[in-house]
Amino acid sequence: MAVCSFCGKGKQVGNVVQTRGRAKYLGGVGTKVTGITRRVFKPNLRNVRISTENGTHKTVCICAQCLKSGAVTRVVKAAPFKLVER
């Protein structure tokens, strides 16, 4: 099962509700529910190389929310825009 290894976020289940008809405030007689089916909400997971506390690197499955919040630190491949001294 796809789960974030940092916060434990996983899949959630819900409903898809299909309606038809025109809304009352638009001049219709109201909308009617014509079908309800189950669906799955999946988290936005990414495989990312992170650096751990003891200095090693590890590949883990992290959700995008943990990645954006700075909860984990990614591995820096090279220092960008480093000037060469002459």
pLDDT tens digit sequence for 41-56: 999 999 999 988 888 8
What's the mean pLDDT in 63-86?
A: 84
Q: Where are the domains of the chain?
A: 12-69
| Full-model pTM | 0.67
Q: Which residue has the tokens 């992290």?
A: 62
Measured CA to CA, the distance from residue 28 to residue 20 in angstroms comes to 11
Provide the pLDDT confidence category of residue 1 given band limits of 50, 70 and 90: low
Q: Are strands 57-63 and 45-51 parallel, antiparallel or unpaired?
A: antiparallel
Backbone angles phi, psi at 29, to 5 degrees: -95, 5
Phi/psi class of residue 33: alpha, beta or left (left: φ > 0; alpha: ψ in -120 to 50)?
beta
Give pLDDT, residue 78: 75
Report the C-alpha gap between 85 and 16 in whole angstroms: 61
Average pLDDT estimate for 18-30? 96
Classify domain 12-69 at the CATH topology level: Ribosomal Protein L24e; Chain: T; (2.30.170)
Q: Are 17 and 29 in contact (CB under 8 A)?
A: no
- pLDDT tens-digit readout, 54-72: 888 999 999 999 999 988 8
